[in-house]
Chain A
Amino acid sequence: MLKSLLIDPEKCTSCLQCEMACSFEHEGAFNPAKSRIKVFEFEHGRRAIPYTCTQCAEAWCLHACPVEALSRNTETGAVELDEAICVGCKVCTIACPFGTINYNADSGKVAKCDLCGGDPQCAEACPTGAITYVDANWTGLERMKQWAVKTDSQAPNQSPGA
Chain B
Amino acid sequence: MDYVVLGAGPAGVIAAETLRRMDRGGRVTLVGDEPEAPYSRMAIPYLLAETVEEEGTHLRHGAGHYDARQIELRQDRAAGIDVADARVRLEGGESLAYDKLLIATGSRPTRPPIPGMDLPGIESCWTLEDARRIIAGTREGARVVLMGAGFIGCIVLEALARRKVELTVVEMAPRMLARMMDDVGGDMIERWCEARGVAVKTGTRVEAIERNDDVLTLKLGEAGELEADLVVCATGVQPNLELLEGSGVETEFGILVDARLATNVENIHAAGDVAQGPDFSTGARAVHAIQPTASEHGRIAALNMAGRETAYRGSLSMNVLNTLGLISSSFGLWEGAEGGERAVAADREGFKYLRLEFRDDVLVGALALGLTQHVGVIRGLVQTGVRLGAWKDRLLRDPHQVMHAYLERARSRP
Contacts and interface: CB of A to CB of B under 8 A. Distances in A.
Contacts of B259: 155
B376 A99 contact: yes
B406 A154 contact: no
Nearest to A51: B407
Contacts of A154: 300, 310-313
Interface in B169-219: none
A67 interface: yes
Given A42-B404, A100-B376, A140-B414, A68 B42 contact: no
A147 B412 contact: yes
B229 interface: no
Contact of A67 (B59, B318, B403): B59
A146 B384 CA distance: 12
Contacts of B313: 152-155
B18 A99 contact: no
Interface in B25-43: 40, 42-43
B351 to A, nearest CB: 13
A151 B14 CA distance: 20
Interface residues of B, number: 64
B276 interface: no
B51 A97 contact: no
Interface in A142-161: 143-144, 146-147, 150-155, 158, 160-161
Contacts of B408: 42, 44-46
Contacts of A105: 325, 327, 372
B51 A66 contact: no
Interface string A53-84: 00000001001101110000000000000000
Contact of B52 (A46, A60, A63, A87): A87
B340 interface: no
B39 to A, nearest CB: 9
Interface string B34-61: 0000001011001000011000111111
B296 A63 contact: yes
B345 interface: no
Nearest to A96: B376
A151 B376 contact: no
A80 B312 CA distance: 27
A87 B412 contact: no
Contacts of A40: 403-404, 407
A97 B61 contact: no
A128 B388 CA distance: 31
Contacts of B378: 94, 99
Contacts of A161: 18, 21-22, 299, 303, 308, 310
**8 shortest interchain CB distances as A-B pairs:** A97-B380, A66-B40, A99-B374, A99-B377, A99-B376, A155-B311, A87-B46, A96-B376
Interface of B: 10, 14, 18, 21-22, 40, 42-43, 46, 51-52, 56-61, 259, 280, 291-292, 295-296, 299-300, 303, 308-315, 318-320, 322, 325, 327, 329, 331, 372-380, 383-384, 394, 403-404, 406-408, 410-414
Interface of A: 8, 38, 40, 42, 44-46, 49, 51, 60, 63-64, 66-68, 85, 87-91, 93-103, 105, 108, 140-141, 143-144, 146-147, 150-155, 158, 160-162
